Amino acid sequence: MSKIILVSNRLSVSAQRTNEGFSYNPSVGGLATGLSSFFSRSDSLWVGWSGLADDTLTPEEREEVAGTLRTEHKSVAVSLSSLDLDTFYYGFCNKAIWPLFHYFPTYVDYDPTLWAAYERVNKKFFEELRQVIEPGDFVWVHDYQLMLLPGMIREEFPNTRIGFFLHIPFPSYELFRLLPWRNDILNGLLGSDLIGFHTYDYARHFLSSVRRLLGMDNNLGTIQGPNRMTKVDVFPMGIDYEKYAASSSLPEVQKEIERIRQSARGRRIIFSVDRLDYSKGIPNRIQAFHRFLERYPDYHGKVELIMIVAPSRTEVESYKELKRELDELVSTINGTYGTIDWTPILYFYRTFPFEQLTAIYRVAEVLLVTPVRDGMNLIAKEYVAARSDYQGTVVLSETAGAAREMSESLIVNPSDMDGIAEAIRTALELSPEEQEQNNRRIHRRLSRYDVQFWAHDFMDKLELAGENRASLQNRRLRGENRKDLIAQYQAAGKRLLFLNYDGTLVGFGSDQTKGKPDAELLSTIERLAADRRNEVVIVSSRSREELASWLGHLDVGLVAGYGVWIKLRDGDWELVEQLNNDWMDNIRPILERYADRTPGSRIEESEYSLSWSYRKAEPELGAVRVSELRDALLSLTGNLNLAVIEGHNILEVKNSDINKGRAAMRWLHSDDWDYVLAIGDDWTDEELFSVLPPDSWSIKVGVDLSRAHWFLKNEKQVRELLHELV
């Protein structure tokens, strides 16, 4: 029976040394907290670090901790040494990925020894996974610490369904490109069947980086490349809604609520709770509260800000500096405005248990959530869910992922301290009716898309993505199928071979003027054509002049211009049918305008077609321009019997009656063939595949949806197959 293997840096429980031995307590953090309920209700296994450095344990203790975690907590511990923690977690993860992905590039440390530690620890996780992965399992990898892991798993377990979810923002291409190991990370992630992000913006940034750095485009979020197919989608993480909604009925919480209300003595509570981190925008938040007190003295003595800052990464110097800054800001405000019986900010530098936290949620009228950057921020959701009375207001940063789902909150720019100050005042003055109206809407969304729904939604999409990949993988030309193709070829008396040129026999480059066949390819084609049982036809979008100069000396048939021109083996060039090119004078100015607006693009013209090529253009700009141009051309050519064809970084306009399939019919109808083989890489080759006899061998180059029955990864594999045939 298949199981779900969750993989994260920390397990859902952490082992701690005590005087009596070891204790095992729930891990702190949004990921462990959020997934624990899903984990407990499913057939799962969790793989991660135990919380204890390997070199602080004896061999017997390591065995004890690992055994307890496996038998009592369904967990597999990954052994990490103190050096691993220093260089991997406190090193590359916190000194490189975290600041860069949160838009703090000046904090990034590009030390290659830290990158080496990142690779080393990802391999340690993989070594543990190797011992537990079984056929049919799902592997769900979590967060930025393990971005190389999906690629490692895919290499050894090609049929395993692998998902990855990033819980922090993915930065824009302009920032991500700064990372020297950017391609390694992208390729690691693309080992997944499904990659999930909290928001569309993060997914868009990732797809942009893949396109611009790896040259791999996507179709509706599906990235298709050599031997891989990865779906990218958005899954805004939910919370355990029922847990927080029911919290106010717990006796411990009720007691805490009463204690807080007595302590507040009628003052209205504003609440802020965060882990110590420069991405959380805490200094700006404190200064915004300062401005609120400056502007609205009527609130002096009537409000208090309860501010909880959970210690984090206390060994890192930038975090120490941040802690000192917070201490000074709080001291300044309390010293300036505080009185004998009123302290404006109640500041706690420690974590609070669930009962105390939810009690504060219940009595606080305003929650301040103003990160500079944040993946989702579940605190905003927890606060609203805990308010079963539908009261309270969230002042929420527009850069938090939760802002997309909680638009009824007061959305602010986290750098606009005046704006945050005004939002605090607005929140305090909202009527109970307005608060209830806003919060009921948010409650409905949170209750429907809770953490269980989120996890099951991801797993359902992962299963579908895995099935799609598997269906394509099963059509790879290998093993017995490859032997059958070769055996049928050898036994056939009359064979017809259609071979596409660019992307099939030769690779694509940024300059289409290149691509001249090399000596090895010419020799292969010549040997195929020399066999009198073979009729070889080279099919191309290129002009007849190019094909004639490169391949005209070979004893083969040629198809040029997507099927406009054909040349039989012993014949001259001829049009498939008489064509009109008067339309070109009307279309050319449009292409020229886009060529002028898009540096690196150019117009290519043949007798009966016009093309706009953007192979050398900046990829993002090219993608935008080709979409605009395609729409413009489709509207203009609707009544002109013209086809607008999109190929590899090229958009071509030609007569709609002409295509590769129609050209191929000239050969298909010329004899009674025993064996037909067609190989192509472009969507224009689909028209060729569609006219082939049912028992033909059709091969698509690259992993993609296709009418072809089989797939090969790239032109190198095509050449290897042709070598076997000759």
Residue 627 lies in a domain: yes
621 and 679 both lie in a single domain: no
**DSSP for 463-481?**
HHHHHHHHHHHTTBS-HHH
73 and 205 both lie in a single domain: yes
Residue 453 lies in a domain: no
CA distance 111 to 92: 8
666 and 632 both lie in a single domain: no
664 and 711 both lie in a single domain: yes
pTM: 0.79
Report the relative pairing of strands 366-369 and 602-605 from DSSP bridges.
unpaired
- Which of 200, 234, 268 is where one domain is finished? 234
Residue 469 lies in a domain: no
The angle subtended at Cα 480 by Cα 479 and Cα 486, nearest 5°, is 100
352 and 437 both lie in a single domain: yes
Number of domains in the chain: 4
The pLDDT tens digits for 228-257 are 789 999 999 999 999 999 999 999 999 999
613 and 559 both lie in a single domain: no
The pLDDT tens digits for 51-90 are 899 999 889 988 999 999 999 989 999 999 999 999 999 9
Query: Is residue 671 annotated as part of the catalytic site, yes or no?
Result: no
Q: What is the mean pLDDT of the chain?
A: 91
CA distance 480 to 500: 25
**Separation of CA 646 from chain center:** 25
Residue 462 lies in a domain: no
If you search the block for the tokens 């083996």, which residue do you land on?
A: 569
18 and 101 both lie in a single domain: yes
What count of Cα atoms within 13 Å lies in the side-chain half-sphere of residue 231? Answer: 20
The residues, ordered by sequence, that sit 6+ positions from 149 with a Cβ below 8 Å of its Cβ are 7, 122, 125, 126, 129, 141, 188, 191
Instruction: Look up the CATH number of the domain holding residue 422.
Output: 3.40.50.2000
Catalytic residue among 274, 374, 450, 704: 374
Instruction: Look up the CATH number of the domain holding residue 595.
Output: 3.30.70.1020
Catalytic residue among 167, 198, 205, 290: 167
**Closest-CA residue to 219 (of 658, 627, 717):** 627
Of 79-93, 330-344, 454-468, 643-657, which range is least confident? Answer: 643-657
Residue 458 lies in a domain: no
Decide if 443 contacts 402 (C-beta within 8 A).
no
Decide if 643 contacts 611 (C-beta within 8 A).
no
Residue 470 lies in a domain: no
The residues, ordered by sequence, that sit 6+ positions from 627 with a Cβ below 8 Å of its Cβ are none
CA distance 579 to 608: 7
Q: So what's the pLDDT on residue 12? A: 86
Q: So what's the pLDDT on residue 272? A: 97
Q: So what's the pLDDT on residue 403? A: 92
- Which of 655, 682, 713 is where one domain is finished? 655
CA distance 98 to 202: 15
The residues, ordered by sequence, that sit 6+ positions from 203 with a Cβ below 8 Å of its Cβ are 170, 197, 221, 232, 233, 234
- Which of 623, 655, 687 is where one domain is finished? 655
Decide if 209 contacts 185 (C-beta within 8 A).
no
Quote the strand ranges of 540-637, DSSP E: 557-560, 565-567, 573-575, 602-605, 609-613
104 and 202 both lie in a single domain: yes
Cα–Cα separations (whole angstroms), residue 645 to 72, 127, 170, 562, 609:
60, 47, 33, 10, 11
The pLDDT tens digits for 399-409 are 999 998 899 99
Residue 593 lies in a domain: yes
Continuous segment of H or E residues that includes residue 240: none
Of 78-82, 473-477, 485-489, which range is least confident? Answer: 473-477
Q: So what's the pLDDT on residue 149? A: 98
Average pLDDT over residues 555-576: 90
Length of the chain: 726
CA distance 134 to 638: 54
Residue 289 lies in a domain: yes
Determine the straight-line distance between the first and last CA of the chain, rounded to whole angstroms: 46
SS3 of 384-410: the string is: HHHCCCCCCEEEEECCEHHHHCCCCCE
What count of Cα atoms within 13 Å lies in the side-chain half-sphere of residue 434? Answer: 11
Average pLDDT over residues 326-335: 97
104 and 8 both lie in a single domain: yes
Instruction: Look up the CATH number of the domain holding residue 566.
Output: 3.40.50.1000
437 and 483 both lie in a single domain: no
Query: Is residue 167 annotated as part of the catalytic site, yes or no?
Result: yes
**Closest-CA residue to 343 (of 269, 292, 417, 421):** 269
**Closest-CA residue to 715 (of 618, 648, 661):** 648
551 and 629 both lie in a single domain: no
Average pLDDT over residues 287-315: 95
541 and 629 both lie in a single domain: no
Average pLDDT over residues 341-362: 96
CA distance 608 to 575: 10
Decide if 507 contacts 687 (C-beta within 8 A).
no
Residue 510 has pLDDT above 50, yes or no: no
CA distance 228 to 216: 11
SS3 383: helix
The residues, ordered by sequence, that sit 6+ positions from 536 with a Cβ below 8 Å of its Cβ are 497, 499, 525, 528, 529, 554, 555, 556, 557
Decide if 388 contacts 364 (C-beta within 8 A).
no
Give the residue numbers spanning the domain of 385.
241-448
Residue 517 burial by CB count (10 A; 0-12/13-18/19+): exposed, middle or buried?
middle
